[in-house]
Amino acid sequence: MTDSELRALCHRFLDAIERQDFETVADVYHPELRFWVNLTGKELSRDESLSVLREGAGRHRRRTYDDRTINTFDTGFLARYTCTVVTHDGTRTALWACLVARCHEGRIVRMDEYLDSGKFGRPPGSTGG
């Protein structure tokens, strides 16, 4: 995949999650997808990841992936971003995260996401580990 194709795929994926468009997310996921998150150290399959996204959709009013910085390499992309979540009571929380994805034939085959659970529940702008 070219640099442009990888960048487009990254935006398509993150935009789809923002819109809660899980049909597009499913289309972006390769059938053999493995999704690893540092918080648990465990890998999810394609179906497990889609279930987690669908189940979590109602928990927030809005979730956006802002300030995206994307770098592409031969087999995939690195995305760094600010994930901003607005809960139903209007509270905004931001956390800074990154995602390393391996891609094949227009789909994501593997994702490793790095989040900081120490940031959960803190309002944007607050600092300190």
Partner 1 sequence: MRQDWNLLQLCDRFFDAIERGDHETLESCYAPEAVVWHSHDCLYQPRAENLAMLEAGMKRNKKMRFRNRRVHPFEGGFVQQHTLHITTENDFEGKMDVCFVAYVRDGMISRIYEYFDTGQIDRFLGPTSGRG
Q: Are 81 and 66 a contacting pair, CB within 8 Å?
A: yes
Helices (H), the chain: 3-19, 22-28, 46-56
User: Residues in contact with partner 1, total (CB under 8 A)?
Assistant: 27
Query: Would you count residue 76 as binding partner 1 (CB under 8 A)?
Result: yes
Is residue 44 within the footprint of partner 1 (CB under 8 A)?
Answer: no
CB of 39 to partner 1, least distance (A): 6
| CA nearest to 56, candidates 78, 82, 85, 30 | 85
* Contact string (CB under 8 A) for partner 1, positions 103-122, x = contact: ---------x-xxxxxxx--
What end-to-end distance do the CA atoms of the chain give, in Å? Answer: 38
Residues 81-100 that bind partner 1 (CB under 8 A): 95-98, 100
- Stretch (H or E) spanning 49: helix 46-56
Give 50 or 109: the residue with its C-beta nearer to partner 1: 109
Q: Write out the residues near partner 1 by the rule CB under 8 A.
A: 38-39, 41, 71-76, 78, 80, 95-98, 100, 112, 114-120, 127-129
